[in-house]
């Protein structure tokens, strides 16, 4: 009887000792992934600032440097309080992606946007999971406080990506012979692009000398531009579609 009680007590003690070890490993795994992801956001965005063309993407990159820089600093503080180590270098996959951006010829708009879409999908999943079931109170609170910002970033980069896709699909517009702009691909709707952003997107579609931009009552920016030496009437809708016609 005493022998059974001894082994039962020993088993219980083993379980209690195992719990902190498991918690530390799980917490460290979160710190590793969050820190590497955050560092990649900052490093890739610093490269993007000098190599992307679209102003809205530059603005997004600047936001990533600011927001993820602050989050990285907060993570380092929380991890330090929990006696956890914060990795100082990227893993092989993220370093490979960073090298691609470094070595790519400007502009790198599509590559940077694609990487940010994947990075934020991974980050939102990681932080949501830890925010709901994390085993370290300090890190769980950090994840809960950060996940909404990550979701906002994800929504922003998805909107930018949609605009880039629309521009890519309309970089070779059908040119008419009359004086009416080809509005077939332009979608009416509330247009959140500023005049500067509209000009930047039109220029990103290959046009120069963009001028006289005004937003009509359908939410479409209309103006004049030049492409291949030809003067064109050009339009930009709220989805980012760029369409032009001979003036």
The whole-number average pLDDT for the span 29-34 is 96
pLDDT at position 10 is 42
Q: Has residue 96 got a pLDDT over 80? A: yes
Q: 2-168 sits in which CATH class?
A: mainly alpha
- Ordered by start, the domain boundaries in the chain are 2-168, 172-247
Give the mean pLDDT of the chain.
82
The whole-number average pLDDT for the span 124-150 is 95
| pLDDT single digits (tens) 155-191 | 999 999 887 755 544 333 333 333 333 344 687 877 7
CA–CA distance, 126 with 104 (Å, rounded to integer): 29
The whole-number average pLDDT for the span 1-16 is 44
| pLDDT single digits (tens) 186-216 | 878 777 778 888 888 888 888 899 999 999 8
Q: Has residue 45 got a pLDDT over 50? A: yes
Question: Token pair 């992934």 is at which residue?
Answer: 33
CA–CA distance, 216 with 82 (Å, rounded to integer): 57
| ∠ CA 170-173-177, rounded to 5° | 160
CB contact burial 43-79 (16+ within 10 A = b; e otherwise)? bbbbbbeebbebbbbbebbebbbebbbebbeebeebb
**212 by DSSP, 3-state: which?**
strand
pLDDT at position 201 is 84
pLDDT at position 241 is 84
Question: Token pair 């993220």 is at which residue?
Answer: 94
- List the single range of 18-27, 44-53, 82-91, 132-141 with lowest mean pLDDT: 18-27
pLDDT at position 108 is 92
The whole-number average pLDDT for the span 29-42 is 97
Checking 16-25 for CB contacts under 8 A at 24+ apart, the result is: 22/135, 23/135, 23/136, 24/84
Handedness of CA 212, 213, 218, 220 (dihedral sign): positive
């Amino acid at each position: 009887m005493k022998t059974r009680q001894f082994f039962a007590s020993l088993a219980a003690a083993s379980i209690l000792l195992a719990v902190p070890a498991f918690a530390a490993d799980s917490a460290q795994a979160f710190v590793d992934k969050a820190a590497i992801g955050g560092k990649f956001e900052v490093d890739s965005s610093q490269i993007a600032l000098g190599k992307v063309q679209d102003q809205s993407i530059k603005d997004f990159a600047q936001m990533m440097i600011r927001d993820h820089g602050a989050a990285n600093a907060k993570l380092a503080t929380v991890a330090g309080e929990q006696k956890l180590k914060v990795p100082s270098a990227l893993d092989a996959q993220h370093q490979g992606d960073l090298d691609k951006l470094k070595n790519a010829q400007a502009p790198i708009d599509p590559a940077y946007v694609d990487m940010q879409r994947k990075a934020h999908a991974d980050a939102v999943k990681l932080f949501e999971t830890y925010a709901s079931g994390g085993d370290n109170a300090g890190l769980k609170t950090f994840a809960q406080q950060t996940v909404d910002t990550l979701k906002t970033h994800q929504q922003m980069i998805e909107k930018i990506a949609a605009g880039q896709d629309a521009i890519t699909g309309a970089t070779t517009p059908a040119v008419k012979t009359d004086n009416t702009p080809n509005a077939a691909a332009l979608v009416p709707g509330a247009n959140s692009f500023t005049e500067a952003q509209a000009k930047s997107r039109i220029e990103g579609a290959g046009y120069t000398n963009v001028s006289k931009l005004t937003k009509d009552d359908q939410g479409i920016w209309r103006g004049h531009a030049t492409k291949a030496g030809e003067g064109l009437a050009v339009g930009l809708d709220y989805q980012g579609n760029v369409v032009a016609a001979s003036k």
